[in-house]
Amino acid sequence: MDWNWTDHTVRHKPPGMLSKLNCYCRRGLSFLFTFSFLGSLMTASIVMDVYDRVKAVFRPSPPRPFAELERTRIKTRTEAEKKVVNDIDYYARLAGLRALPHDVVTDDGFVLQLFRVTDPNVQETSSRYPVLLVHGLLQSAGAFCVNENDSLAFQLCKSGYDVWLGNNRCGFNYKHVEYAYNDPRMWNWDVVDMGTRDIPAFVDYILHHTGHSKLGLVGHSQGTTQAFLVLSKFYTPDLGNKISGFCALAPAVYAGPLVDRPMFKFIRYIPPFLYRLFFGIHAFIPSMLTLRRAIPKSALTYCSYAMFHFLFHWSDTRWDRALEGRMFQFSPVYVSAESMRWWLGRGGFASRRCIFTDDTVSWFDARCPPMAFWIAQKDSLVDGVKLMERIKTSEPDVVVMRQVVVPEYEHLDVLWAADANERVNNGVKEVLWATAYDRSRFQCPTGCEDV
């Protein structure tokens, strides 16, 4: 049975003169379409945001649950803490830590960036249990570092873990050992490649660098998709022997009702050749990255939130609004148009409503590591509750360590809510330690003494 997406094996030849000319022509056409598409979305987003603000004047919303906390924090923040930069290490230093980059090369030649979060006051790291965090779609490793001291990456490090943050291929820094930006082969990959190539490359590098044989894995949204794919018996299940436990935040396996919105349906209904004509064989709407470099940071924050709210119906109700500048400094990033087609295109995730092509057989075998789930009940993008039901009824080899459904949370709240440290982070720390191998070799993380 074929478990790969049917069009996943399409490969491009090295570009010759004619193919380069063809590529540039298609990119010109794609630019006109995608720039118009982006402009239309941005206009609609701003109009709806203005409408919502005017409506709130006449029909006030319920009080924000952390309004008092926001006011208190604003009074105590220094100018350095208010600064907005695209620099993970800067925010790590504010938390008394460091985040230094490592280059990792995949087996298909992509150069990935991997950040190691460390405590400069701790010289010996070999006794710290290694943990890899993998971000979501259009995000980057910075998503785990923007909630001040409550950021998941910083909390794990301060409690005693050896924390590594993986940036998927391309991201802000598209690099390949052979291909350049204008080579179509640079962008001929999708979510399956990110799962079966990027995650194993991260895992192998960390284990080689630390000298350990296993690590803990944490994923958010698409990061969980990559992990579920690579750990399934249809791709690279032996990787499960190198992972002691997997924590899935807002797990993206089943689609929620949001994928049926008109702008997403449009992408689903057009055939592949038209999709590639409109969106090109390159980065998905690269003008988004051009725009983010051209406009002031405050305008970027406003436009980014308006767009996210319009497209996904996410809100900042439970966030510290003063931190939104940080949150949107690390997204969007470069992803391939093919990876977005995997999610939204004809025959892809939005059509199947599941990352796997068959829901009638088990996906995992005994090589699968123990899992834990944190599900946002107000998440309309993915259906985590359906996944939990599926695990209970159809996956006898999956050991579930913990399942948490947070009624008030939306998709990004598992990372950015003001109370995420209590609702999510502490539980992640405990599960990672409960599933750790050969614990006598490692120091017990703070707060896990009774685990």
Q: Could you give the residue numbers annotated as active site?
A: 221, 379, 411
User: Which two tokens mark 63?
Assistant: 């009080």
Amino acid identity, position 293: R
- Neighbour count for residue 297 (Cβ, 10 Å): 16
Residues in the chain: 451
**C-alpha to C-alpha distance for 381 and 258, rounded to whole angstroms:** 5
What residue type is 395 in one-letter code? E
Task: Look at strands 400-406 and 162-167 and give their pairing.
Answer: unpaired
What strands, in cross-sheet order, belong to the sheet with 243-249? 98-105, 111-118, 162-167, 130-134, 215-220, 243-249, 371-376, 400-406
Bridge partners, residue 171, by sequence: 334
- For residues 422 and 137, the answer to whether their CB atoms sit within 8 Å is no
Answer yes or no: are the C-beta atoms of 280 and 403 closer than 8 Å.
no
Crossing angle, helix 262-269 and helix 337-344, to 10 degrees? 110
CA distance 40 to 287: 13
Closest CA to 326 of 150, 186, 114, 107: 150
Quick count: other Cβ atoms within 10 Å of Cβ 379? 26
Q: Are 411 and 314 in contact (CB under 8 A)?
A: yes
Q: How many degrees, rounded to 5, is the angle at CA 362 between CA 359 and CA 363?
A: 85
Per DSSP, 240 falls in state G
- Taking the C-alpha atoms of residue 131 and residue 19, their distance in angstroms, rounded to an integer, is 43
- On whether the CB atoms of residues 134 and 202 are closer than 8 A, the answer is yes
In DSSP terms, 385 is beta-bridged to: none
Chain centroid to CA 250: 10
| 3-class secondary structure, 417 | coil
Of 360, 376, 368, the residue nearest 419 (C-alpha): 376
Pair of tokens at residue 440: 């006598």
Torsion angle (degrees, nearest 10) of CA 173, 176, 177, 180: -100
Check: CB of residue 247 under 8 Å from CB of residue 372. yes
